[in-house]
Amino acid sequence: MTSQAKHSDLYRLTAIEAVDLLKRGEVSPLELVEAAAARIEATDGALNAMPTLCLDRAREQARRIMAEGRNGDRPAGWLAGLPVAIKDLNDVAGVRTTYGSPIYADHVPERSDVMVEMLEENGAVVIGKANTPEFGAGASTFNEVFGKTHNPWNLEKQVAGSSGGSAAALAAGQVWLASGSDLGGSLRTPASFNSVIGLRPSPGRVAHGPKPRPFSTLAVEGPMARTAEDCALFLDAMAGMHREDPLSLPAPATPFLETVRARRKPKRVAFSPDLGLVPVDRRVLEICRQAAEAFAGQGISVEEACPDFSGALETFQTLRAASFAANMGPLLREHRDKLKPEVIWNIEKGMALNADAIGQAEVMRGELFHRVVAFFESYDLLLCPTAIVPPFDVDVRYVEEVGGVKFDTYIDWLGITFTVTLTSCAAVSAPAGFTADGLPVGLQIIGPPRGEAAVLTAAALLEEATGIADRLPIDPMAAGGASYMA
């Protein structure tokens, strides 16, 4: 193989393979920056996953890591110079960061988010910003600044959101790792729609900020990757305490990657078709049942069971609306004409709440937490679909109806993920299979609070059973499976 051919194939490596090459000196951070840039140039015309690139910044950082390595100034960190994508909700110093909003279309922050700073300290090279919905709201990746992102498995379909650009970039091989964030399913749903891994960690596992509401526990940052072990590696690079995040947790004594590689199997897991909350498309349900059976095929006890999630839908809607009012009330007063209707509705819903409604929601959240903790005394994990539908038309803003059940709001279709948010449990979406027309479906694997290692291990076991990870990265495909790059 010529060096040019080798260079052109670098995007096919897993993150772990790429980092191993970096640490052995067989490839340089700068070579990987150029490989990622070439892959983005070849595919993003179809996807629009990475609308903002910072290649000169990435090259400078790559050269700095290479120089420090030669001088022996410091270890290469977890990622050793691996290029990564950062979701456009997180600040990167000196790089255009829009939050998907026309209000911030020309915003260039002076300082990076704490998570980004920690990643760069651990050897990450930021290559660009991944597309996201306006302020991450709506779980469909489109905005007035950059437009819509297309699904690489079928360019006519949605990538979901809000970490949709990150998920599509991973699936297409534009980057080896990508960051995401999750309030109501924003890491998990796009992972399902793009057949990648998306982990929502427990609050505090990944430090972020500085934020005006640092004690909030609904929204978290987390890793996305093509494989479970890659995701564990990325979580190791993210995890750790930071003085500006009062909820941040110390890194584990045993790295996540080491624990996942040990493949300690759960003994007893539960499967629920719908968490008792929402209708699920029959195609999705059948694929997720088969994925649950894959655990049984590995000698793991699988039973149909579920905690009591009653009241969870209303509880989340109330707490989310209160959060929107607190975070974006001033934007509504000053820039109403630049906000999409769904965001306006959510802010106004929050402003209309009274203290009693918010207090009751907090109490109900606490009751749900205790029920779920009790459930995990009997079961190691809970399995269910990640998304209630396969990827839908890219021009559709959100799901309005499933199985004859009409939804009242633009986020109701995410109930199967946002109710899990309330519990503070670790949850990952892992590829489960494909519909007859080739659309990805994810299985949501939920563990106890701070159970990131357990859910990633289960994702790795499922990955071995299905072999789906071997199909990534893919060339963007038109409807019917024809390669965009053919």
pLDDT, one tens digit per residue, over 162-221 is 999 999 999 999 999 999 999 999 999 999 999 999 999 999 999 999 999 999 999 999
Which residue type is seen at 296? A
Q: Which of 20-24, 72-76, 91-95, 258-262 has the lowest average pLDDT?
A: 72-76
Q: Is the peptide bond before 162 cis (omega within 30 degrees of 0)?
A: yes
Q: What value does the mean pLDDT take over residues 275-290?
A: 98
Architecture of domain 3-471: Alpha-Beta Complex (3.90)
Label residue 6 by pLDDT band (50, 70, 90): low
Spatial distance between the Cα atoms of 421 and 275, rounded to a whole number of angstroms: 13
> Token pair 């633009």 is at which residue?
410
3-state secondary structure of 197: strand
φ, ψ at 436 (rounded to 5°): -60, -25
Examine the pLDDT at 326 and tell me if it is beyond 70.
Answer: yes
Q: Residue 399 has which token pair?
A: 């799901």
Is pLDDT above 50 for 3? no
Read off the pLDDT of each residue in 413-426 and give the average, rounded to a whole number.
98
Sequence-distant (≥ 6) Cβ neighbours of residue 209 within 8 angstroms: 113, 114, 242, 244, 245
Q: What are phi and psi of 124, to 5 degrees?
A: -80, 145
Distances in Å between the Cα of 418 and the Cα atoms of 139, 183, 278, 314, 414 are 11, 7, 12, 11, 6
Closest to 92 measured CA to CA, from 48, 138, 61, 65: 61
Supply the pLDDT for residue 1: 34
The answer, yes or no, to whether residue 469 has pLDDT greater than 50, is yes
Query: With 80 as the cut, is the pLDDT of residue 27 above it?
Result: yes
**Angstrom distances, CA of residue 54 to CA of 39, 150, 443, 453:** 15, 22, 34, 32
pLDDT of 41 higher than 60: yes
Is residue 245 within 8 Å of 204, Cβ to Cβ? yes
Percentages (nearest 5) of helix, strand, coil residues in the chain: 40, 15, 40
Structure tokens at 383: 């399995």
- Residue 180 tokens read as 């995401």
Q: How is 290-333 classified by DSSP, letter by letter? A: HHHHHHHTTT-EEEE-----TTHHHHHHHHHHHHHHHHHHHHHH
d(CA 424, CA 440): 26
Q: Which two tokens stand for residue 248?
A: 């941040």
Residues 323-351, mean pLDDT to the nearest whole number:
97
Distance between CA atoms of 178 and 24, rounded to whole angstroms?
23
What type of residue sits at position 478? A
φ/ψ of 451, rounded to 5, equals: -100, 35
- Element holding 444 (H helix, E strand): strand 440-449
3-state class (DSSP) for residue 425: strand
Please, which pLDDT band fits residue 486 given cuts at 50, 70 and 90? low
**Of all residues in the chain, what percent carry a pLDDT higher than 70?**
97
Residue 467 CB-half CA count within 13 A: 0
Q: Is the pTM of this model over 0.95?
A: yes
- Sequence-ordered strand ranges (E) for 339-439: 381-385, 401-402, 405-406, 425-434
- The pLDDT value given to residue 484: 86
| Model confidence at 5: pLDDT above 60 | no
Residues 269 and 295 sit within 8 Å (Cβ to Cβ): yes
Question: Phi/psi of residue 393, each to 5°?
Answer: -55, 135
Phi, psi for residue 7 in degrees, rounded to 5 = -60, -40
**How is residue 1 annotated by DSSP?**
-
CB 394 within 8 Å of CB 194: no
pLDDT band at 291 (very low <50, low <70, confident <90, very high): very high
- What are the boundaries of each domain within the chain? 3-471
User: Looking at the annotation, which residues are catalytic?
Assistant: 87, 162, 186
Nearest alpha carbon to residue 428 among 461, 398, 473: 461
**DSSP code for 432:** E
Reported confidence tier of residue 2, pLDDT bands at 50, 70, 90: very low
Instruction: Work out whether strand 405-406 and strand 401-402 pair parallel, antiparallel, or are unpaired.
Output: antiparallel
